[in-house]
Each structure stands twice: as structure tokens, then as C-alpha cells.
Structure 1
Amino acid sequence: MSNEQENPLLQYIFNNPEEFARNLTKIAENSGKALAAYLEPRESGRVQDETPEELSLAVKTLAQVGEYWMKDPARAIEAQTRLWTGYMHVWNNTLKRMAGEDSAPTITPAPGDKRFRDAEWEENQFFDFVKQMYLQTTQWAEHLVEGATDVDEHTRHKAAFYVRQITNAMAPSNFILTNPELLRETMTSNGENLVKGMEMLAEDIKAGNGEVKLRQSDPSSFEIGKNVANTPGKVIAQNDVCQLIQYEPQTEQVYKRPILVVPPWINKYYILDLNEEKSFIRWMVEQGHTVFVISWVNPDERQSQKSFEHYMQEGIFMALDTIQKTTQQSTVNAIGYCVGGTLLAIALAYMAKTGQKDRVATVTFLTTQVDFVHSGDLRVFVDEEQIKLLEDRMNKQGYLDGSKMATAFNMLRSNDLIWPYVINNYIRGKEPFPFDLLFWNSDATRLPAANHSFYLRNCYLTNNLAKGELEIDGIKIDLKDVEIPVYNLATREDHIAPAISVLEGSHCFGGPVEYVLAGSGHIAGVVNPPHKNKYQYWTNDGLHRDINDWLNTAEEHPGSWWPHWQEWITDKDNTLVKARKPGARRVKILEDAPGSYVKVRL
């Protein structure tokens, strides 16, 4: 029997105190480099801290919840009693265990909580006590927000978000002395993990120009155009807003109607072309489609005044014009993903108003919102006060820095997309695993000021699009004028475009809508190639208002929704023609796919 098995406490003692002392010196040295990387851009004036304003908004929101409980002495006593009663239950449970009695834990982690998987969180009385006290406090804080019934719903939504960020940050799993796994690693390596971790932190602060640019994947393992975004094709048009890519055919015959894909500009398009196995774009080409994809520019101050109208005119309409010229087809099947789908919906309603509705025969929306009443957790960032603050910042430089939007998305799932990487990188001192999806996730893009302001105000804040009150290019549009067939895909675990929101939006259109619900979330539910045989999807002949009613009568199908979509799209028109290569009809080839726009990084 080993010494550690005889005495479990030995695993929490340094193997070599002298080496640990030497490593402490290295840690201090790397800490100085990290601090210098943080201070240098601020001292030079390149960076101005914006945290105080954001912190002020959070404090103001949480204060409203606190005021609800404190203004009534009875409520305040009730809240305090609930907290201390929970603490006493945890303490009594711990005392029983110390006395050798069997005692079930007072509170346990939620199913799927990966933070407390180490056996010591249950077997060691100290770590079990710390865990239960944390979970008890978290549950109590969440109840304070939920129970503040006099506070308006939006404020409670924001408060719940802020409480979640605070409690996630303060989890004992994030600290060496209260995380048994981290403590063991630190002891056994004599602090070598912290030396490497602090070195990585200094590098990431320097790379982020004074902010931590959290690495979620090994960026050196991927190269755009080589092992990601590598479906063969050509760039056949470009302007200040986008490039248009046409992909090389992989079949002798292709469907007569070309496909135009309108991806989001909040992220880069190659989420639909990650690699040979995960590429929806490559799969469509292999099925016999002529595929065109818009690759949006990574904007700077030159695009500051590029609005939704510009993205419609210089993006979608430019693409339609080019497709018609090179294929001699005046009608396409269109696909829009996320905010790209919202723009596409607006363009379709605009075309219907201006006598151009025949330019698109069918439309497929992938996790797209057009009605924003149930728009999910991103709504916590949208109110007049926050939009005004954001507009003031964007107007100074002409765009929203991509890192800000990336951080907002990561915060929605901070226990998956922030804290595991903080622990792995800066405490365990390990390089992140190379993962193409997380490489794409960190490849953020800037957002033009005018465009982003229009989107937040007309969609999230006022819901003008769903109300039929949105104006673009001086024309008031109505989605009811969009009468073409719609394939509307939602994903069941989507926290950005919730399934209920996509279902609600299905009722905004004037034509037939095929609402399909896929398993998993905003990305994995969409990027789900058939050969992986993962997840599932649901279909229903009825278009209910209530998501539960829809699910109760829906039919579940195993695997990917892609073949179902292929059957739907070809059912509308399966006419075949000779395969089309990029550069036909004297359309100039500018460069190889994926083009230069997508390679511009922050």
C-alpha cells in the first residue's frame, strides 16, 4: 500500500519544498510580465478601461433586487433565515460525517455540472463542506432574484445573469486551495503548473492588447484554407461589404436552382465549412447543388456607416445579381444562418414590396429569429441604457470590437466557455486541446456601428420586424408578404435563438412553413453531418403556437436533419443541368476560396 493510500493528506504536501521556492520566484517574475502587459497599453493611452460603466450597470441592477428584500423587514428576515437555515443543515451534515455517521448531502450539484467530478469533492469532508456551502449560497442568491416579484421581468433577467456570472466566478473549483484536483497538481509538480500558467497569462494579455485573450484551442493547429474552410471554390465578386464565393461542382449534373448562403457577420462563415467531415457547404455540393456563399468583411472604421440596408444591397442583392449573371438563373434557393437569416428575411420582405419576389424561390432559416419576444439570454444586454452606452463606444471608433461580442457569447455559458479554460490554461498550465469549433469561436469579427445599432434597436429592443413596423431604404416591410416556402430550423438547447422564439417567428410569414427542431444547440445542432449519426430532429405537420404542444405531437427522427432538408428542397424543384464551374459567362475569378476577407483577424 502506498503512503498516499495510508494517509490521503500526503497528496496535498509538496514533494520538493526547495523546487517550490524556486518556482515561486518564477511565478513572481511571470506575474510581473502579466502586469506589465496589462498596464502598458493603458499607460500609452491605446486602451481606456470601460469596466467601471459596465460594473455600475450591474450594481444598479442587483441593487434593485436587494431593495425589494430590504425595504420590508419581514422579507429581509425571511431571506436571512433561509440562508442560515441552509448553512446549519450543511454544518450538521458535516458534523455527522466527522462523527462517523452516514449522512446524505444537504445539496448536490445539478446534473451535468462538470466542476465537481473529482472523487475528493465527496470523499474528503473539507472539500465536501466547501462545495455544499457554495451550492447553498448560489441557490439562495438565485432564489432572491426569482422571488423579487415587484421588480420588472427584464431587470430580474439581467440580475439573474449577473448573479450567475458572480457565482460561477466564485466557485471553489476555480481556486487552488479549494479544488482538490488543482491542489494535488500544484503539490505534486511543486508549483510548476503555476509557472507555466502565469507565463501563458502574460502571453494572452499581451496578445489581447491589455485584455485577456482567452485561448480555447491551439491556434497553431489550424490554418484557414488548409484544414478549415477548405472546400474548393473561387471568389467571383467583392466590394466593401463582402466577397462572394462559388464552389467547384463535384457532380456531373447539378440542380438548376443555385443556392445562396447568407451567414452571420457576427462570426465568420466557415462554421458551415469547418473541415471535410463537418462541412455543410461541402455536403450540399456533393448532393449536386451549385453553392454560393457570402463571406462578410471584417470591418473597421471605413465601414462605420454601413447599415443593414448596405448589407442587404451590397451583400444579398450583389450576390443575386452575380449569380444570375454567371448561371443565367434569375431565381435561387436561399439559406440564412442566425443574424444572416434575419437580414435575409428583411431582404425577402423588401423584395416582396418592390416587385422582386421571384428572385428567391425557397428560403431556409437556420436558428434564425424574426420575432424577438422570446429572444433568450442575449436580451440581458439590450435596453435603452445599455444600447446608448454601446453606441457611444462604437461611435468613437466606428465599430464594436469583436472581442466584446465574443466575450458576451462566452458569458452566456461561462461554465463551459470561460472558467474551464481559465483553470486549464492559467492554473494547470496546460495548452488547450486543438479543436476546430473553438478555433472558429475565437476567430471573432468586428461589427459596424450603424449596422449593429439598427439591429439591436429594431429587433431586440422594439421588435419592429415582427410587428411589421420596420423600415429599410425608406420602405416599411411586412414579413406576411413573404409567401415562398420556408424551412425553419431551430435547435432544442439553443440559448441564442431559443426554439420557442424560432417557432413564434414561423407565424410571421405569409407562406407555408416547415418548422423543424434539431437536437443539441446553436452550433452543434446545425453542424451535424449524417455520417456521425448524432442527435436527432423532430417534425410536425402542424404549426402550433406553444412549443410544448408542438413537441407533444411531433415525430422524432434519429440522426441529422440534413437529408430531411435535401428531400424538402428537391421536392420543390429537382430539375438537373450540366455542372457549372466558377468563372462562367465572363465572371472574373478574383482568388481561390476561402478568399482574403475571412483571413483578416483582430
Structure 2
Amino acid sequence: GGQPRQVDTSGFTLGKNLAATPGCVIFRNDLIELIAYEPQTKKVHAVPLLCSPPWINKYYIMDLAPNRSFVEFAVRAGHQTFMISYRNPDETMAGYTMDDYLRKGVLTALDVVERTTGSKKTNLMGLCLGGTLVVIALAYLAAKGQAARVNSATVTNTLIDFALPGDLGVFTDEASVTRLEERMRERGYLEAGEMAGTFNALRANDLIWSYVVNNWFMGKEPPAFDILAWNGDSTRMPAVMHSQYLRACYLQNALTKPGAFAIDSVKTDLRKIKTPMYVLGAEADHIALWAGSYATTQLVGGETKYTLSNSGHIAGIVNPPDNPKACYWTKPRAAKGESAHEWRESATRHQGSWWNDWAAWIGKRAGSMVAPATLPPGEPAPGRYVLNEVAAAFGTNGTSHKPAPYRKRKKATAPKRRQTRRA
């Protein structure tokens, strides 16, 4: 049998009350769409902001409901903001690798942002697995002599050192990974429902049994909640890429060892990353333990600021300034050689959202205020890939950004699927 529903998704519509910040798709290849958001201020910071979301779920956790959207917050603060939206993989993408996600994903998006804005520098921001890819990209660019293309990097609830793998460590030993690889080999991908089941099992009391009692035994209707609606909108993972990720990161912890991890034939060394970084963890995160995310500050070679938000893996991110329960701990920089415990003992607690602290930090690294760049024409956000549609590539030759013709589509609603929560 199935599992009880965790959320009522009937009231949510992508582009209306989820993923609703105005913008357009200015580029598409076989892996990503790049969304450019419309400026909402007369002038914008000269250095654009490129967001790298995880591809385990859809990008719009960073553009949730209006007034709860980080993207909306950044745009209103005067940042020229761009977002990667990943295609939901099928069997034709079975052979896609981590190299593909670097080259066709964040590096291609960086190229398009530079062409669109004319800026030679970009601020990168990554969440969870998208943050891991940001750090990999920083190491790659440093090795290629292109580090100056990234002015600063923000990584949120991200693991680079997998010595503290969180609750997922239960499912990432050699035997478990081998069994998973055998299943993925049959289809070419990890089915979204399998990932959902894994996260359910991690917190069975909260994510399974409470709904069995409330929905099935007591006859209650599930709530309408934006985070839960997003959590149910899961994606597949390409077989080869997911195997590489699990083995290199969870089994070998290769990113922490200079030269042990190679991407696109380039060996990485995190010590060569000199880019200023804002590193965020969440106090109750059970997937990326905060002490594990803190380790990033000790692995890279540049100056870092670490901030610890209250709440969990997702609720710690969706933390708008008007949240009365929000608080965070921080200090100007994380010193080299300082342990997570030592940092926590010396950090200062602040009432309010870390969003404001980040805004002050990034504002000093976003350049002067200038007239917004003219955006090329494109299909309206949130685009096709977030709706699980496949469409022709455009804007791939470096000059033409004219989108492929398409027939008008009906309103799309967030799919009703078995829901999972990672908050």
C-alpha cells in the first residue's frame, strides 16, 4: 500500500504562488534552463548573483511563496539575480556525469550571466548539493587560472567534508551504494520516489506515522504548506552521476583530499580557493550537520564567514525577515584552526533572519549601483524544466537568445505526489 498524504497541493500553482518572482528563461540546453529575474529597483548592483540549487528537488525552494522567497528578497535588494533550473532526468540521461553537471550546469550558466550583464565577475550562491557543485566549480576555476570570474561564493546547508554525513550516512555504506547502483542500472536513473522514501525513513515518526494517525485514523485533512508542496515535487537522479557523487563524496570523502577528486580531468585542491565565502549551516539540520558544514571554512584557502541559523535543513533556508522565531549566530570570520565548538562558543546570537546578515555581507561584494542590463527575450519563468517538460535548446551559440517557438500551455500546478519533508 501507499503512504498518507502530507500536504494538500491543490491551492498551489507554479508561477502564481510558488516560483512566482517575475523573470524569463534566457537560455536552455539539454540539462538546464537559466532564469533571469526582472529587476525591481531602478539601479542594481554591478556584480550579478547566480543561484545554484540542488537537483534532488526543484529549484523553487529558493523562490518559494511571495514574501517567503529568497530570490524575491535578493531582487528587491538590488541584485541582478539568475537561477539554474535543472531538467528532470530520464533514461536518455543515464550516462550524465558530474562533469556534465559542472560544464553544462554552473559553468555554462556563468558564461551566459557574463554575456548578458557584461560583468566579468559574478557572485555564486549554492544550496545543499548545489553548494557542493559551487565549491567544486571554485576549485576547478582556481586550477584553470579563472578564479577571478567569481567575486564571492555563498554555500548554504552544504557538505564538502562528508566525515559527518548526517542521517544519510545510514544509507551510504559500500553495500547500500552497490545495491542502489544495481537498481539504477536497470532504469538509468534513481526514481524520485526512492529518494522520497529514504528521507521519510530518516524521520519516520514525523514523516510517516504522524500522518498515519492524523489522516487515516483521525480522518484529518493534510495542511496546505508551501515547503511540503515543494518537497513532494521530487526529481530523478542520473545513474552515473549519482553513483559518482555517492562514491566520491560519501564513501571516499575525496573533496577533502588534495588531488583525490578530479572533475573534467582537473584534479582539485580546495586550499587553492581564495574566493571570499559566506558559509551557512542550520542548527537542527539532520542531513548536513552544522558541524559538518562548518568544516568548509577550514578546507578552503580564502577568508570565510560562518553563520548558523536556527531550524532545520529546509526551514533554516526559508527564513524571511519577518519570521518572529528566527535567530542566528555569527561573527565576522571563521579563523583557521578554529573548531566548530570553539566557533560556537565565541559567536554572537542575533534575533532575526540570517537573510539580513547575508545581505550586508554580499552588499560589500556586489559592486556599485548601475542601470540594469537589458535582458534578452525568453519564455516566462518558471520555464519548462520545472514542469517536467522537455523543449528545444536555445541561446547556445553565444549570440542568439531567441527561444524556440512553443504553443501556449495551460496553467501548471505543483504535482500531487507522495510528499517528503527535509526541514
TM-score normalised by L of structure 1: 0.63
Question: Helix, strand or coil for the counterpart of 2:306?
Answer: strand
Deviations 1:134-158 (A, max 9, x none): xxxxxxxxxxxxxxxxxxxxxxxxx
User: What corresponds to 2:372 in structure 1?
Assistant: 579
User: What corresponds to 2:300 in structure 1?
Assistant: 509
Q: In structure 2, how many angstroms separate the alpha carbons of the residues matched to 1:227 and 1:542?
A: 38
Which residue identity lines up with residue 247 of structure 2 in the other structure?
A: R
Kindly state the Cα deviation for residue 429 of structure 1 after the two structures are TM-superposed: 2.6
User: What corresponds to 2:109 in structure 1?
Assistant: 319
Question: Helix, strand or coil for the counterpart of 1:566?
Answer: helix
Q: Does 1:520 align with 2:308?
A: no
Equivalent residue for 2:59, pick from 238, 246, 269: 269
Would the alpha carbon gap of residues 217 and 467 (structure 1) be closer, same or farther in structure 2, given more than 3 Å must change?
same
Question: Helix, strand or coil for the counterpart of 2:137?
Answer: helix
Kindly state the Cα deviation for residue 553 of structure 1 after the two structures are TM-superposed: 1.2
User: What corresponds to 2:406 in structure 1?
Assistant: none
Q: Does 1:555 align with 2:348?
A: yes
User: What corresponds to 2:400 in structure 1?
Assistant: none
User: What corresponds to 2:421 in structure 1?
Assistant: none
Which gives a bigger RCO, structure 1 or 2 (Cα 8 Å, sep 6+)?
2
Q: In structure 1, how many angstroms separate the alpha carbons of the residues matched to 2:311 and 2:148?
A: 35
Number of residue pairs the alignment of both structures matches? 387
Kindly state the Cα deviation for residue 213 of structure 1 after the two structures are TM-superposed: 5.2
The answer (yes or no) to whether the contact 1:485–1:513 under 8 Å persists in 2 is yes
Question: Helix, strand or coil for the counterpart of 1:489?
Answer: strand
User: What corresponds to 2:288 in structure 1?
Assistant: 497
Equivalent residue for 1:453, pick from 237, 243, 246: 243
Question: Helix, strand or coil for the counterpart of 1:424?
Answer: helix
Q: In structure 2, how many angstroms separate the alpha carbons of the residues matched to 1:513 and 1:409?
A: 31
Greater share of residues in strand: 2
What runs of 5+ residues in structure 2 fail to find an aligned partner? Answer: 389-414, 418-423
Q: In structure 2, how many angstroms separate the alpha carbons of the residues matched to 1:551 and 1:510?
A: 21
TM-score normalised by L of structure 2: 0.89
Kindly state the Cα deviation for residue 279 of structure 1 after the two structures are TM-superposed: 0.2
Deviations 1:90-127 (A, max 9, x none): xxxxxxxxxxxxxxxxxxxxxxxxxxxxxxxxxxxxxx
Kindly state the Cα deviation for residue 531 of structure 1 after the two structures are TM-superposed: 1.7
Q: In structure 1, how many angstroms separate the alpha carbons of the residues matched to 2:4 and 2:148?
A: 46
Question: Helix, strand or coil for the counterpart of 1:524?
Answer: coil
The answer (yes or no) to whether the contact 2:33–2:383 under 8 Å persists in 1 is yes
Q: Does 1:537 align with 2:328?
A: yes
Q: Does 1:296 align with 2:91?
A: no
Q: In structure 2, how many angstroms separate the alpha carbons of the residues matched to 1:571 and 1:523?
A: 27
User: What corresponds to 1:474 in structure 2?
Assistant: 265
Would the alpha carbon gap of residues 524 and 220 (structure 1) be closer, same or farther in structure 2, given more than 3 Å must change?
same
Kindly state the Cα deviation for residue 542 of structure 1 after the two structures are TM-superposed: 4.2
The answer (yes or no) to whether the contact 2:273–2:302 under 8 Å persists in 1 is yes
Q: In structure 2, how many angstroms separate the alpha carbons of the residues matched to 1:502 and 1:476?
A: 22
Q: In structure 2, how many angstroms separate the alpha carbons of the residues matched to 1:251 and 1:342?
A: 31
Q: In structure 2, how many angstroms separate the alpha carbons of the residues matched to 1:276 and 1:219?
A: 16
Kindly state the Cα deviation for residue 581 of structure 1 after the two structures are TM-superposed: 4.2
Kindly state the Cα deviation for residue 240 of structure 1 after the two structures are TM-superposed: 1.2
Which residue identity lines up with residue 319 of structure 1 in the other structure?
A: A
Kindly state the Cα deviation for residue 533 of structure 1 after the two structures are TM-superposed: 3.2
Question: Helix, strand or coil for the counterpart of 1:285?
Answer: helix
Question: Helix, strand or coil for the counterpart of 1:565?
Answer: helix
Q: In structure 2, how many angstroms separate the alpha carbons of the residues matched to 1:545 and 1:411?
A: 34
Equivalent residue for 1:254, pick from 44, 55, 66: 44
Which residue identity lines up with residue 198 of structure 2 in the other structure?
A: A
Q: In structure 2, how many angstroms separate the alpha carbons of the residues matched to 1:530 and 1:545?
A: 29
CA-atom RMSD in angstroms: 1.3
Question: Helix, strand or coil for the counterpart of 2:364?
Answer: helix
Kindly state the Cα deviation for residue 225 of structure 1 after the two structures are TM-superposed: 1.2
Q: Quick one: percent identity of the two aligned structures?
A: 46
Question: Helix, strand or coil for the counterpart of 2:370?
Answer: strand
Question: Helix, strand or coil for the counterpart of 1:507?
Answer: helix
Question: Helix, strand or coil for the counterpart of 2:322?
Answer: helix
The answer (yes or no) to whether the contact 1:249–1:580 under 8 Å persists in 2 is no
Q: In structure 2, how many angstroms separate the alpha carbons of the residues matched to 1:213 and 1:420?
A: 11
Equivalent residue for 1:352, pick from 142, 150, 170: 142
Question: Helix, strand or coil for the counterpart of 2:24?
Answer: strand
Q: In structure 2, how many angstroms separate the alpha carbons of the residues matched to 1:511 and 1:552?
A: 23
Kindly state the Cα deviation for residue 535 of structure 1 after the two structures are TM-superposed: 2.0
Q: Higher Cα Rg: structure 1 or 2?
A: 1
Q: In structure 1, how many angstroms separate the alpha carbons of the residues matched to 2:192 and 2:30?
A: 18
Deviations 1:391-434 (A, max 9, x none): 01101101000111111112222221111112222222332111
User: What corresponds to 1:188 in structure 2?
Assistant: none
Which residue identity lines up with residue 290 of structure 1 in the other structure?
A: Q
Kindly state the Cα deviation for residue 375 of structure 1 after the two structures are TM-superposed: 1.6
Equivalent residue for 1:403, pick from 187, 190, 193: 193
The answer (yes or no) to whether the contact 1:528–1:534 under 8 Å persists in 2 is no
Q: In structure 2, how many angstroms separate the alpha carbons of the residues matched to 1:214 and 1:363?
A: 40
The answer (yes or no) to whether the contact 1:240–1:303 under 8 Å persists in 2 is no
The answer (yes or no) to whether the contact 2:123–2:366 under 8 Å persists in 1 is no
Which residue identity lines up with residue 577 of structure 1 in the other structure?
A: V
The answer (yes or no) to whether the contact 1:249–1:581 under 8 Å persists in 2 is no
Equivalent residue for 2:357, pick from 564, 570, 575: 564
Would the alpha carbon gap of residues 542 and 343 (structure 1) be closer, same or farther in structure 2, given more than 3 Å must change?
closer
Q: In structure 2, how many angstroms separate the alpha carbons of the residues matched to 1:534 and 1:593?
A: 31
Question: Helix, strand or coil for the counterpart of 1:362?
Answer: strand
User: What corresponds to 1:546 in structure 2?
Assistant: 339
Deviations 1:210-262 (A, max 9, x none): xx254211121111111111110000111111110000000000000000000
